[in-house]
Amino acid sequence: MPKLVKESVVRRIFDASKEQRVYTCQLCSEDLQPHSMLTLARFAQLDLQNGRLTAHDILDSKGKYMWWPYWFHEGCMEDILVCLHEAFTNDPARIYSTYVCECATCKSHIRHGEFAAVFMDGELTLSDRCPDGQWSLEFDSIGGNDIPYFICMECMEYASKNILDNTWEDLHNGLEKH
C-alpha cells in the first residue's frame, strides 16, 4: 500500500472550519467538544508518484472547496460506515489492474487521478498556546499517525443522498463537470 504524503491539509481545513464556525458533527448536529474522538471527511484527487500517494484538495475556480470538509463524531462515522457497507455488500466491486487504494466500504479500486473521500480519525484538543487570550481547538490524528482511509465517490454520493440529508448536494453534478 502506498504511503500518503503528510501535508498540512488538516491544519488548513481546521483553520477554514474556524472561519466558518463549523464545530458540529454533520450527522447528529451536536457540538464537537475538546477531547472528543472524531473523523475529518474531505474530498481529494488522488495522485500516486514514486510510490507516494498524495491527496490534493478539490477546489473551484475561486480557490474554495468544491465540497466542504466536515467533521463526524466517532460513533456517527461508524454508523455511516455500517450503512454504506450494508448498501453495497451485494454489489460487485469495480476492480482495475492498476489502482492506488481500495474503497473502505465497497472494496472497489480507486485509480490514480480519481476523486475520493479521504477520512482521518483524530481528537480535538485544546491548543497549548493562547496568544490572544482565547483557547483554541486543534485536531490531532490518532497517535500522530496520519493514515487516512478512502471511500469512492459512488459510495459518497449514496451517503450524501441517503444518510447525510444531501450534505454534499452537488456531488453528482460536480463529478460530471470533471
What are the phi and psi torsion angles at 99 (to 5°)?
Answer: -160, 165
pLDDT digits over 19-56, tens only? 544 478 888 888 888 788 888 888 999 988 888 888 88
Reference 155, options 96, 77, 55, 83; nearest CA is: 83
pLDDT digits over 89-145, tens only? 888 889 988 889 999 999 999 999 999 999 988 887 777 766 666 656 677 777 555
Report pLDDT for 135: 59
Cell numbers given for 46: 488522488
Residue 9 scores a pLDDT above 50: no
For the CA atoms of 5, 10, 12, 17, the dihedral, rounded to the nearest 10 degrees, stands at: 160
DSSP 21: T
Residue 175 scores a pLDDT above 60: no
Residue 14 scores a pLDDT above 70: no
Report pLDDT for 11: 46
Q: Note the maximum CA span of the chain.
A: 55
Higher pLDDT, 85 or 8: 85
Report pLDDT for 89: 87
pLDDT digits over 138-164, tens only? 777 775 556 788 999 999 888 888 888
- Relative to beta strand 52-57, strand 3-4 is parallel
Secondary structure tally for the chain: helices H, strands E: 4, 9
User: What SS3 class is residue 22?
Assistant: coil
Dihedral sign of CA atoms 29, 166, 74, 125 in order: negative
Report pLDDT for 3: 39
Cell numbers given for 109: 479500486
